[in-house]
């Protein structure tokens, strides 16, 4: 089962164009298989959110809307809900605005 750090890594790889949309879709489908058993509540919610966003943007001609929604929903909302020590472990001392610019 994936943890929230693995999920953040996959999303960041996609946002940085290091993996394709197809790779992200394949990874998220695999991650969702046993997701209901995942004890990491944050990871479970993140996987479901990624799958929902992929479905919502399935017909988009450009990936920009999906990328923006992934960044806002996954990285910003979920990571800001973590205790500061845990979020610092995941994305260093970078602010959420810096993460948006990096994407």
Show the tokens assigned to 80. 């800001």
Sign of CA dihedral 99, 50, 29, 39: positive
pLDDT band at 55 (very low <50, low <70, confident <90, very high): very high
Show the tokens assigned to 87. 């979020």
Of 6-15, 27-36, 80-89, give the lowest mean pLDDT range: 80-89
pLDDT band at 82 (very low <50, low <70, confident <90, very high): low
What global pTM score does this model have?
0.74
Show the tokens assigned to 34. 């046993």
pLDDT band at 8 (very low <50, low <70, confident <90, very high): confident
């Amino acid at each position: 089962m994936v943890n929230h750090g693995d999920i953040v890594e996959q999303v960041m790889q996609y946002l940085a164009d290091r993996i394709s949309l197809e790779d992200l879709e394949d990874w998220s489908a695999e991650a969702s298989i046993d997701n209901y058993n995942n004890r990491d509540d944050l990871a479970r919610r993140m996987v479901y959110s990624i799958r929902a966003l992929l479905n919502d943007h399935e017909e988009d001609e450009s990936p920009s809307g999906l990328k923006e929604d992934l960044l806002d929903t996954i990285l910003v909302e979920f990571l800001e809900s973590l205790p500061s020590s845990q979020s610092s472990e995941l994305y260093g001392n970078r602010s959420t605005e810096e993460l948006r610019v990096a994407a």
